[in-house]
Amino acid sequence: MNIEIKKSRKPVNYNDAKKLMEMRLLDINENNAKELIWILEHDHIYTAGTSYNENEILNKSIKILKTNRGGKITYHGPGQLICYFVLDLKRRGKDIRRLISLIEKTIIDTLKSYEIKTFADKKNIGIWFNDKKEIKKVAAIGVRVSKWIAYHGFSININNDLQRYKAIIPCGIKNKGVTSLKKIKDQNYKYLRDKLVKNFILNLQN
């Protein structure tokens, strides 16, 4: 599979990442570039997807960056793993639902290797953890498709500041919480990004 794997060690500006993905999308559409999987982190930022509502901003003093991905409002920051991609669905049967299922499976399989049991929810997109009968989100998914090329991606909370979510209604879901892997199980997640990429590529090949 001819996919470029990019791993950024320093935090990447959100707008810079978005521009790079959009440029790659155009290049892939012209058959001038490889598909991309990109692992990175962002500095503190709140982003609003195409279906957000103003009433989901609880703290009106925060800055919100409107973006063209699907979904509602979320928070990105240090300690959160971001997996962006630019993938040509014309090569994959033009099946958006299948791609979302592959992403869900990738995250669930990867966390299972850390003995953390998570699950997907058809009604509420993302990956969830049952924390003593309280359902909490540990990974968010937001995808956009243009010219049958999918981009943006998903994020996994490893050890980020969960207090930042109190300024918003994360992903527009009021009755469920947010957690991180370190809160669930305090262990070493150093190789999480490598396992995640490996599983993602395996699932894309199936």
Would you call 33 helix, strand, or coil by DSSP? coil
| Each residue's pLDDT tens digit, 80-137 | 999 999 999 999 999 999 999 999 999 999 999 999 999 999 888 999 999 988 999 9
Residue range 3-205, CATH number: 3.30.930.10
Where exactly are the structural domains of the chain?
A: 3-205
CA distance 84 to 15: 13
- Owner of token pair 């993905």: 21
Task: Single out the catalytic residue among 102, 139, 171, 192.
Answer: 171
Q: Is 83 a catalytic residue?
A: no
Half-sphere exposure of 33 toward its Cβ, with a 13 Å CA cutoff?
19
The pLDDT score that the predictor gives to residue 156 is 98
pTM of the predicted model as reported, rounded to 2 decimal places = 0.95
pLDDT band at 45 (very low <50, low <70, confident <90, very high): very high
Dihedral (Cα; 168, 12, 89, 49), 10-degree rounding: 20
